[in-house]
Amino acid sequence: MNLLITGGTGFVMSVVAREWLERHPDRRAVVLDRAGLDDTAQAWFAPVRDRLTVIEGDVREPAGWAAELDRHQISAVVHGATVTPISRGSAQEAARVQPEALTPARIVDVNLMGTVQVLEWARQSTSIKRFIYISSGSVYRHQGPDWAPEPLPEDGYVAPLTLYGISKFASEMVVNRYADLFGLSVASVRLSSIYGPMDRATGSRNFRHVPNRVAQMALDGEVIRPNSLKPVGDYLHSVDAAQAILALTEAPRLRYRHYNVASGVTTSIGDIIDWATQRVPGLCFEVADEAHANVIQDPALATGMWGAYDISRLERDTSWRPRDGREAFHDYMDWLVASRS
């Protein structure tokens, strides 16, 4: 069983690829990505590079990769190639024009039509047993269940407002229709806010969630200046996310078409700073107004796509469980220290 990962030189997908190869020493992974392996990716894949094939190609242009993929006996696909034009975090990001306004047509073209092209290839293959589409919590609306503490389920509450979220939800629907038409076993996973190893600026994504920013600033000795300690997010370590995705890829049976991949709980900026202090004693932080803050989030964004995601479907259909939030965050800080040495 060989696995195809589109977008596999980027953030989460590179973690999926390496996790797959480490889990299965007798199998191979094929990465299809417009970008090749940069220095960070070369180092990341070094322990498993002999079983990794990298094909440089645009998912929208199958003439450049379809024939090559046919030679690799691929039995499962994790389709994660995407353009992620989101901005949430620093004062500079919050003040400037929304990134999706810069290249709106490209966002829709890559995210939606790129998915169609990969599906077109997959439906003609006789070896594909599972197709996992990497979607996003951006498909949800800002408000969730009436009871605020209740996690956000997959059914209902879908009302994307951005081109990114719209293109993701449209792709989910296309994936579902291809499954019905051609007998594919598919699932779409809606990721919450992911942080962890391999999170870096790339040509299709330049955004870092709060745990990443706090960890980096703590290790750099910077004073952390959030606009508030109260804002929350459902944050999940990238290795945990990769393991969940692979659990769905290899599950004997999937009972649903959509799965949240998340921690299932909310964590505040104050919690994350406290965890960082446990690794970096003497860490300095102060709450600042937005004009002087270096970590900005709106405290009002605490439900719907911004709150906790219900992961009961994933827990019912697989043996995967998220790690404790503090344990995962400390693991990330330890990885950062090791990667800097």
pLDDT at 205: 60
Determine the average pLDDT of the residues in 71-90.
83
152, pLDDT greater than 90: yes
Report the distance separating Cα 84 and Cα 186, nearest Å.
22
pLDDT at 80: 97
Report the distance separating Cα 331 and Cα 340, nearest Å.
14
Q: Within 189-250, where are the H helices?
A: 210-220, 238-250
Give the confidence band of 86 by pLDDT, cuts at 50, 70, 90.
Answer: low
Task: Compute CA 337 distance to the chain's CA centroid, rounded to the nearest angstrom.
Answer: 22
Q: What's the Cα-to-Cα distance from 272 to each of 220, 221, 296, 328, rounded to whole Å?
A: 16, 16, 14, 11
93-107, 194-208, 310-324 — most confident range: 310-324
139, pLDDT greater than 60: yes
pLDDT at 148: 64
90, pLDDT greater than 90: no
Determine the average pLDDT of the residues in 141-148.
79
Report the distance separating Cα 161 and Cα 155, nearest Å.
17
Report the distance separating Cα 340 and Cα 322, nearest Å.
26
Determine the average pLDDT of the residues in 199-218.
82
85, pLDDT greater than 90: no
Tell me the β-bridge partners of 29: 3, 52
What domains appear along the chain, each with residue ranges and CATH number?
A: 2-201+234-265+309-324 (3.40.50.720)
Determine the average pLDDT of the residues in 211-233.
96
Q: Which is more confidently placed, 1 or 67?
A: 67
Tell me the β-bridge partners of 2: 74
Give the confidence band of 192 by pLDDT, cuts at 50, 70, 90.
Answer: very high
Query: Which of 4-18, 43-57, 84-98, 219-233 comes out lowest in average pLDDT?
Result: 84-98
Give the confidence band of 101 by pLDDT, cuts at 50, 70, 90.
Answer: confident
pLDDT at 133: 98
146, pLDDT greater than 90: no
pLDDT at 96: 60
Give the confidence band of 147 by pLDDT, cuts at 50, 70, 90.
Answer: low
Report the distance separating Cα 235 and Cα 96, nearest Å.
25
Whose tokens are 């990443």? That residue is 212
- Strands (E) across 152-271 are located at 186-191, 193-195, 232-233, 235-237, 258-261, 267-268
Give the confidence band of 306 by pLDDT, cuts at 50, 70, 90.
Answer: very high
pLDDT at 142: 86
Give the confidence band of 203 by pLDDT, cuts at 50, 70, 90.
Answer: low
309, pLDDT greater than 90: yes
Bridge-based pairing state of the strands 52-56 and 29-33: parallel
pLDDT at 79: 98
Average pLDDT, the chain: 93
pLDDT at 94: 43
